[in-house]
Amino acid sequence: MSDVTTPEWAWRDGQFVRWDECRVHARSQAVLTGVSVFEGIRAYAGHDHGELYLFRFADHVRRLAQSLKIARIPAAIPANLEDVCGELLALNGWHEDVHISPFACLGVAPDFGFLSDNPNVTFVVTAVPRPRARAIDSGAHLKVSSYTRISESTTPPRVKTAANYHNSRLAALEARVDGYDNAVQLNHRGTVAEAPDACMAIVRDGRLITPPVFAGLLESVTRSTVLQLAAETLGIPVEEREVDRSELYVADEAFLCGTGAEITPVVSVDRIEVGTGRPGPLTQQLQEAYYRVVRGTVEDHAEWRTPVYERTGARFPAVGASMS
């Protein structure tokens, strides 16, 4: 039996609504053809006083704007989106780690068509608690997927759109059916792209190596964070280059990184142990550096953290917030 608690509140087109009222029509182009873009943003529990911190909110909004532009969705991001997200967290009374998803999608077209011009856009924000995944401590077992990663010439991977995730879904389902935790996908050149839901990185001879964005990656905010922390906090040399499939087998360490995955060690690929078959020391150091920053236990990169209750506390008390 699931112990997941359903949120009480969401936000849709300018107003807070009950969770069950946050709906999109079944005839919408978002449903029929997957015409929607979204973001995945973390809010992290702070180290004291029950605060929550939105992490790198401005960078996520910038990526959302780019996705809207490339996908040709005629939507404007609400100017008060940061306040909306903060108030939504406070309204639901959360103090634990939360995953937030602003979501813009095409509604029902004027002529009810699948691909016709459509000015009707719905903008939604939902949020759900997102506790630390078990694999972050134990590590994940991956397989190289038989599904090639999407490419710029088909449906651009830098757009965070629902339609792109069908390719990811097939790879992830194949991996789970075959007894793995997750997959890693290759691009059309046969080199490593990323996992269905996260970027891939390896460690070889003390260097952190990750495929470049043109290898078929989503332009990941978490990846950018990890590369910066590796270089400036831990002094680890960073290299962005193409990665061969066989390099995954001989890497000293490997990990996934993303808003959902955070930093998840990879302990085997195709049943071949990566390094010692356990989370590696550099991966663990990066995890520690990452959590210190996102939870505000260090002053470093305060510009990446937006406090929720400090901004919204006047209207939504930190404990027992509600709206009737």
pLDDT in tens, 267-315: 999 999 999 999 999 999 999 999 999 999 999 999 999 999 987 663 4
Which pTM does this prediction carry? Answer: 0.93
pLDDT of residue 199 exceeding 70:
yes
- The separation between the first and the last C-alpha atoms of the chain, rounded to the nearest angstrom, is 29
pLDDT at position 310 is: 84
- Bridge-based pairing state of the strands 121-129 and 15-18: unpaired
Sign of the Cα pseudo-torsion (114, 118, 124, 130, in order): positive
| Res 69 pLDDT > 70 | yes
Please give the pLDDT value at position 118. Answer: 94
The band of 85, judged by pLDDT with boundaries at 50, 70 and 90, is very high
Mean pLDDT over the full length of the chain: 93
C-alpha separations of 239 from 106, 206, 211, 250, 265 in Å:
39, 11, 9, 17, 19
Q: What's the rounded Cα separation, in Å, for the pair 48 and 303?
A: 18
Eight-state DSSP code of residue 320: S
Indicate the range of 46-50, 145-149, 210-214, 263-267 predicted with least confidence. Answer: 46-50
What is the per-residue pLDDT for 316?
45
Question: Residue 299: its pLDDT value, please?
Answer: 93
> What pLDDT score was predicted for residue 313?
64
Strand 36-38 with 15-18, pairing: unpaired
Q: What is the CA radius of gyration of the chain?
A: 20
pLDDT at 47: 83
Residue 224 has pLDDT above 60, yes or no: yes
Beta carbons within 8 Å of 176's beta carbon, 6+ residues apart: none
Walk me through the domains of the chain, giving residue ranges and CATH numbers: 9-131+301-312 (3.30.470.10), 135-279 (3.20.10.10)
Query: Quick check: is 160 catalytic?
Result: yes
36 burial type by CB count under 10 A (0-12 exposed, 13-18 middle, 19+ buried)? buried
- Looking at residue 1, its pLDDT comes to 37
**Residue tagged active-site, from 130, 141, 160, 295:** 160
